[in-house]
């Protein structure tokens, strides 16, 4: 059971500024009912270009309602430049904190505010940047990376809590972990470690590398190579054509074939020739 602060409960049970501003200067919608959360935000400015009136309509859980209500209270009286500086963490802090599993609600509020300001300023609608990583919730690699950087996220669970990515079928967990590893490595100034490969993935990548990078070069000189087996990090191959009778075939296997596989597949691979 999640623990909610008194302020979260208050904004859920008694939400402020519900509805839509009449003759609004800007209206924006984010999220999707199909994905579980949606938010519509509208505001009107006064003669000094400060937010005079702001309202929201949301479809979602208690935290979605509370964060939307809190956001509308926070931005009243602000200039758009001041409002643009609000982060999702600011919204959570205003409420005295949110359960980690519900931080994505504060992210949705921040996104709605950004979009509404863009509408008012006549900025072109932002196209979806990056590639979809989580098909269940339509979350891109760019969105995941931004959440990691802004909120210092370190685990798959963190990313799911802030973006919902990975909270469905789970097929994207590997891709999300790779993004986490890469971004965390960049933030620490250390090179990212290569993700671990299953044996099936390793064999498939070895086959693809041989077909794409190695075999064409060998065939150019009348030779060829056949993958016989993969045992751990040992790649067992048989030489064919001119390579089979070439005295320098061992050098070719080590300095070309093995080097390519180390570079493009896994740095600990070794190539061994077997008779077939």
3-state SS record for the chain: CCCCCHHHHHHHHCCCCECCCCCCCEEEEEEEHHHCEEEEEEEEECCCCEEEEEEEEEECCHHHHHHHHHHHHHHCCCEHHHHCCCCHHHHHHHCCCCCHHHHHHHHHHHHHHHHHHHHHCCCCCCCCCCCEEECCCCEEHHHHHHHHHHHCCCCHHHHHHHHCCCCCCCCCHHHHHHHHHHHHHHHHCCCCCCCCCCHHHHHHHHHHHHHHHHHHHHHHCCEEEEEEEEECCEEEEEEEEHHHHCCCHHHHHHHHHHHHHHHHCCCCCEEEECCC
How large is the average pLDDT for residues 226-235? 90
Whether 105 is catalytic: yes
Q: For all residues of the chain together, what is the average pLDDT?
A: 88
Per-residue pLDDT, 232: 86
Cα separation, 60 vs 38, in Å, equals 7
Active site residue: 105, 134, 172, 243, which one?
105
Confidence class for position 27, pLDDT limits 50, 70, 90: very high
Q: Which residue has the tokens 């208050």?
A: 10
Distances from the Cα of 224 to the Cα of 6, 98, 234, 243, 248, angstroms = 71, 61, 19, 6, 14
Would you say 66 and 15 are in contact if contact means Cβ atoms under 8 Å apart?
A: yes
Distances from the Cα of 207 to the Cα of 43, 220, 240, 254, angstroms = 57, 19, 16, 17
How large is the average pLDDT for residues 57-61? 90
Domains recognised in the chain with CATH numbers: 6-121 (3.90.1010.10), 129-187 (1.10.10.1100), 199-273 (3.30.300.130)
Distances from the Cα of 2 to the Cα of 62, 92, 201, angstroms = 11, 15, 39
Per-residue pLDDT, 32: 67
Backbone φ, ψ for residue 195 (5° rounding): -65, 150
Helices 173-188 and 141-151 pack at an angle, to 10 degrees, of 40
Indicate whether 34 pLDDT > 70: no
Name the least confident of 29-33, 96-100, 112-116, 149-153. 29-33
Indicate whether 179 pLDDT > 60: yes
How large is the average pLDDT for residues 257-265? 89
Per-residue pLDDT, 18: 96
Name the least confident of 7-11, 243-247, 262-266. 243-247
Whether 136 is catalytic: no
Per-residue pLDDT, 250: 84
Indicate whether 25 pLDDT > 90: yes
Per-residue pLDDT, 193: 59
Active site residue: 35, 61, 136, 246, which one?
35
Indicate whether 101 pLDDT > 80: yes
The b/e string for 241-273 (b: 16+ C-beta within 10 A; e otherwise) is eebeeeeebeebbeebbbebbeeebbeebebeb
Neighbouring C-alpha atoms within 13 Å toward the C-beta of 33: 4
Distances from the Cα of 47 to the Cα of 51, 79, 115, angstroms = 10, 11, 22
Which comes out higher in pLDDT, residue 54 or 168?
54
């Amino acid at each position: 059971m999640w623990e909610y602060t008194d302020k979260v409960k208050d904004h859920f049970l008694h939400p402020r500024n519900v509805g839509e501003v009449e003759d609004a200067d800007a209206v924006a919608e984010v999220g999707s009912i199909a994905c579980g959360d949606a938010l519509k935000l509208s505001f009107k400015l006064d003669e000094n270009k400060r937010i005079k009136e702001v309202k929201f309509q949301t479809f979602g859980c208690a935290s979605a309602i509370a964060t939307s209500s809190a956001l509308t209270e926070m931005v009243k009286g602000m200039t758009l430049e001041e409002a643009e500086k609000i982060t999702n963490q600011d919204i959570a802090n205003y409420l005295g904190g949110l359960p980690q599993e519900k931080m994505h609600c504060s992210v949705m509020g921040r996104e709605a505010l950004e979009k509404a300001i863009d509408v008012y300023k006549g900025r072109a609608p932002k196209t979806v940047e990056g590639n979809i990583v989580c098909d269940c919730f339509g979350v891109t690699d760019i969105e995941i990376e931004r959440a990691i950087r802004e909120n210092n996220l370190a685990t798959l669970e963190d990313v799911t809590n802030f973006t919902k990515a990975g909270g469905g079928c789970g097929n994207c967990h590997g891709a999300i972990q790779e993004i986490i590893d890469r971004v965390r490595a960049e933030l620490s100034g250390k090179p990212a470690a290569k993700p671990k490969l299953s044996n099936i993935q390793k064999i498939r990548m070895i086959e693809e590398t041989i077909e794409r990078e190695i075999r064409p070069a060998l065939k150019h000189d009348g030779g060829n190579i056949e993958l016989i087996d993969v045992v751990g990090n040992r790649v067992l191959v048989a030489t064919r054509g001119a390579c089979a009778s070439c005295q320098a075939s061992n050098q070719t296997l080590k300095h070309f074939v093995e080097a390519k596989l180390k570079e493009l597949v896994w740095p600990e691979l070794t190539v061994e020739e077997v008779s077939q």
